[in-house]
Every structure is written in structure tokens, then in C-alpha cells.
Structure 1
Amino acid sequence: MHRTSTRVLLSCAAIGVGGGLVAGPSAYLAAAFAAFGPILYGLTVGLHFLPSVVALALLKRPGTAVLAGVIAGLVGTAFAPWWIGRFIGTGLLVGVLLELPFLITRYRRWDPWLFYVSAVFSGLVLAIAVFIGLGAEHYAWWAWAIALPLWVASPVLFTWIGRVIAARLARAGVAQLPSREARPG
């Protein structure tokens, strides 16, 4: 049985808390977009990708995206407790969707393009869900032509930002593991 070190768990917790401190207040921005400019609502979804991307890119361990995303959701609920299901559900869903390509490769490949494939796929899944959930018939075709690409572009943008943050943290030595805790792949 594979054991996860305390160092990895605490790193996920720290990343998740940082992500929750960003995602929590941004929920109010998302609510404002949903109320006053719903075609721009997709711009805010990418913020939920930050903790999961940073954890996965920095730690390169199975489950770190899911754990960091759920912790970020828990911390986000401190800002809006009535959205607990939305925060935790989004953190869990984003973490799982981000890890899919890495799971398929059995966590042996960490190529940058896998992160972006995952972001595009996740954005499409979320866009389709919102498209169905909001009811496409309530909006003009041009509104969806603007909104749906934003749902895909936002996760890609925040995946890039998350990878930049992870690379800078790695250069600073934040994720250095002792030699007995060698990274997979």
C-alpha cells in the first residue's frame, strides 16, 4: 500500500488554504457576473483551478489536485457558508477532472501539455453543464457564442498561472523532498 507523507499532506493543505482565500471572495464576483452579466460568468471559474493545478504541478503526486481543491472549497466556505456545496463540489470536480490525464498515464508523465488538455476538457465539461443548467433557450445564440469560449479559456489561463506559481515555488525550494521520498516517474 502506498503511503502519503505528512509533508505532502501539509503542502496540499497550505496550497488549499491559499486557494480558498482567493476563491472564497471571488464567489461574490462570480455572483455579480451571474446576476448582471451572465455571459461573463465563465471568466471566474478558472480561479477554482489554481489550488489544484499548483498542488499537482508542484508535488507531482496522485490525489494532490483533489485534496488541495477540496481544502480550498472548505476554506472558501468561510466567506460564504451558504455555498458550501458549490465550493466543495467544484473543488472536488475540478481536482478529479485535472487528474484524469495523469491517471490515464498512471502518473508517469508530467508533460505541460497534459495540464492544458485537462484544463480544456474540464472547461468543456463545466461549460456544457452550465449550458444545460441555465437553459440555452433563455439566451440568444450570440450570448452562448461569447460565454462558452470563456468557460474554456478561463481554466486554461488559470492553469498557466498555477503552473507558473508551482514553478516559482519549486525554484524557491518549497517542494524539496528528502532523497528517501523520491518523486514518481
Structure 2
Amino acid sequence: MSRVTTSFLLTCAAIGVAGGILLWAAGWVSSVLFVTVPFASVAVAGLWLLPATVALRLLERPLAGILVGVLSGLVVFPWLGAAIWWAVFAEIPFMLGLYRYWKTWQFYAGALFVGIVYPFAAAASFDLATMPLWAVVAFFALTIASCVAGVGLGILIADRLKRAGVAKLARRRGLATRGLGRGDGPAGQH
């Protein structure tokens, strides 16, 4: 990350608090569903990707998703670990590209990846080993669909915020504006 600015930190804080409020509700809904209809609780799993997705799409800065995951997790303290866990998966596709690319498909790749990994991680909690094959397949499909939907909603929100001019100063700047473009001097002057 080239520079951590106050506008970047404040934007992450705002997204983190708003995301934390959303995750507070999602955490309780998921907990109630887990007790009553465990299978259905994964329908809200994708909401855990939403805060990090908004941050990464809006800011296009390394570790923005994880920072927002930590901040969201502090708001929903009982689910701090879950908030960070999901944020890491939102961030992975950008880490793998060394934060050089910010393509829409990367967001969906992260959603697909966590949608596949989560059922394995939660297999014991949901007792997937005792379910018939069709139910396990449906569980994976529901988890993946939820994650893709959560990322899609996060992209929609971030794009609308970007169009409205939100966080303009906190966003990643192009190479030329940072003085790193071809032919630019140290201060970005030609």
C-alpha cells in the first residue's frame, strides 16, 4: 500500500461499521436458522462477504477488505473471527494478483472459492457426512449461490457509491498520478 491516508481509514471505518450492523443482523438470523433449520442458515452466508467486497470494489487498495473485516468484526464482536475469515476470502483473488488487477471476475472467483471451502470447514457443524448426496450437493449449491449473490450486492453498492463520488480521495490512484508512469519524474511531472 503506497500511503494510508485519513480518508482511506475513515472510509474503511464507515464501511466497517455499516457492515458490522448488517452482520449483526445476519449473525442472529443465521444462528436462529441454524437452531431451527440448519440447512437454510447458509442462505445468508454471502452477506459476510458484503463489507469486504464494498471496500475492495470502492477503494481498490490492498488489505482494504481485511481492514473492513476487522472493523466489522469489532462491531459484531461475538462473530469477530467469522467477519475476518470471510474478508480474507474476499481479498485472496487480489492478493494472488499482487493487487495489480481489480477485475469484476476476481470478486466472483473469491465468492466461488469460499462457497466451496465453507461447506468443508463447516461439515461437522452441519453433520454433512450423514446427509444424502443430493442434500450435500444442495448445501454446496446454496452456499455458492449465497456467496455469489452477496458479492453481486456488494459490487452494486460500491459501484453506486463510486458513481455518487463517495471516497474519491481514498481510492487507489493511477500510476501517472503517483509519479510512477513512464517518463514521469519523482513528483509526477513531465
Normalization by structure 1: what TM-score? 0.87
Match of 1:95 among 87, 98, 102: 87
Larger Rg: 2
Q: Does 1:111 align with 2:106?
A: no
**What letter corresponds to residue 19 of structure 1 in structure 2?**
G
Deviation at 1:6, TM superposition (A): 1.2
Q: Does 1:31 align with 2:31?
A: yes
Whole-angstrom distance in 1 between the partners of 2:110 and 2:146 = 13
- Runs of 4+ in structure 1 deviating by more than 6 angstroms, as ranges, are none
Whole-angstrom distance in 1 between the partners of 2:108 and 2:169 = 26
Deviation at 1:178, TM superposition (A): 7.7
2:8 alignment partner in structure 1 = 8
Identity %: 36
Deviation at 1:125, TM superposition (A): 1.2
Match of 2:173 among 166, 178, 182: 182
- Spell out, residue by residue over 1:10-38, the C-alpha distance to the aligned partner (whole angstroms, 9 max, x if none): 10110010011111022221112111211
- Spell out, residue by residue over 1:40-86, the C-alpha distance to the aligned partner (whole angstroms, 9 max, x if none): 11111111111100000000000110011111111123xxxxxx2xx
8 Å CA contact 2:8, 2:170 repeated in 1:
no
Structure 1 residues without counterparts, runs of 5 or longer: 78-83
Deviation at 1:100, TM superposition (A): 1.3
Whole-angstrom distance in 2 between the partners of 1:75 and 1:178 = 22
1:54 alignment partner in structure 2 = 54
SS across alignment from 2:122:
helix
8 Å CA contact 1:60, 1:184 repeated in 2:
no
8 Å CA contact 1:15, 1:68 repeated in 2:
yes
8 Å CA contact 2:7, 2:170 repeated in 1:
no
8 Å CA contact 2:123, 2:129 repeated in 1:
no
Whole-angstrom distance in 2 between the partners of 1:146 and 1:24 = 26
TM alignment of 1:64-75, pairs within 5 A: 64-75=64-75
Whole-angstrom distance in 2 between the partners of 1:94 and 1:171 = 26
Deviation at 1:183, TM superposition (A): 4.7
**What letter corresponds to residue 74 of structure 1 in structure 2?**
L
8 Å CA contact 1:48, 1:91 repeated in 2:
yes
Whole-angstrom distance in 2 between the partners of 1:167 and 1:53 = 11
Match of 2:139 among 135, 147, 151: 147
- Spell out, residue by residue over 1:140-175, the C-alpha distance to the aligned partner (whole angstroms, 9 max, x if none): 333222222111111110100000000000011002
Normalization by structure 2: what TM-score? 0.85
